[in-house]
Amino acid sequence: MLRSILLISMMITLVTFSGCDENDDTVWDPRPEPPQGVFSITGDGYVVLWWAGPYDRDIEEYIVYANTAGLNADYVEIGRRAADDNPNLDLIYYDYIDDDVANGTTYYYAVASIDHAGQVSTLSAEDVYDTPRPEGVLFINDISVQQSSAGIHFVSGGTIDASSSECDAYVDSDVFGIYYLNAGDLNSFRGTEIQGMGYTYDWDDIGYAPTTGWSDLGYAEIIVGHTYIIKTDDNHYAKMRVLLTDGVGVSFQWAYQTDINNPELIAPPKSNDQNITSIYSKKNETNNDLK
């Protein structure tokens, strides 16, 4: 009987240790999964981060990190976002507004999850960086109506004389009353480029300036709802979207990238499930500078 008991004990011990092979590559990580699909929306003096939370109810909050040194540099925590309870393990989107930024400076971001035990996930896998830039709304006169305010000067965000060497783009019309947007400086060739991007449903539809396709004529017909990209002679990018036209000029929404050679104007949404209108309503709640 004693011999049988010893044999059974030895078998149990063998089975127990067989599951702990030192060559077993299986590693159990108790930490939560990181957020997925992190991306940013460019604004004027702010950046909006979006991400999808993991399919996990045991998430308490998210940590948002940033730096200005690069994707491989150390990140610093800039804020937190509470997680929603997720009993059905649904796909839930979150956003975070970083308004402690300067236009023309590039910021690099990452997000991590924290569970209710305080365990922190690895950083999000996506390469996320953003360069906020100024934007506004401006009415530009037809050159035949008032030349002194027929041009736009992106650096100042105001109108300028269409004949000025500082004019980036200007408005004129033909005998049929059709308006045109022209690359700036009537007096000399400055290397300014212009391109019509066609009809855009929303201001955010055009996220980045193109590298080719510039108009050989140096102008494009102005049509309400259409967006136009400008590349200035000093290698800055801008976009203009037509809001309305009347008998004396055109109203544009505009954005100008102060960071030289940076084609980012606003990053478009990555998912049809996200309602960009909610970004603007939330931004209005915290900052009245939104368009």
Domains of the chain, start order: 36-132+272-286 (2.60.40.10), 135-256 (no CATH)
Q: Are 89 and 57 in contact (CB under 8 A)?
A: yes
Q: Provide mean pLDDT across the span 69-89.
A: 96
DSSP track, 216-255: SSSEEE--TTEEEEEE-TTS-EEEEEEEEE-SSEEEEEEE
Q: What local confidence, expressed as pLDDT, does residue 29 receive?
A: 64
Buried b (16+ CB within 10 A) or exposed e, 255-275: bbbbbeebbbbbbebeeeebe
Q: What local confidence, expressed as pLDDT, does residue 30 receive?
A: 83
Q: Provide mean pLDDT across the span 181-189.
A: 74
In Å, what is the CA distance from 278 to each residue of 25, 48, 273?
45, 11, 12
Q: Provide mean pLDDT across the span 248-257.
A: 96
**116-141: pLDDT as tens digits:** 999 999 999 999 999 999 999 999 99
Q: What local confidence, expressed as pLDDT, does residue 23 receive?
A: 54
Q: Provide mean pLDDT across the span 20-25.
A: 52
Q: What local confidence, expressed as pLDDT, does residue 207 receive?
A: 85
Q: Look over the chain and give the mean of its residue pLDDT values, rounded to a whole number.
A: 84
In whole angstroms, what is the distance from residue 281 CA to residue 95 CA?
Answer: 12
Q: Provide mean pLDDT across the span 161-182.
A: 95
In whole angstroms, what is the distance from residue 176 CA to residue 144 CA?
Answer: 13
Inform me whether the pLDDT recorded for 224 exceeds 60: yes
* pTM of the complete model beyond 0.75: no
% residues pLDDT > 70 (the chain): 79
Q: What local confidence, expressed as pLDDT, does residue 25 receive?
A: 57
**39-51: pLDDT as tens digits:** 998 899 999 999 9
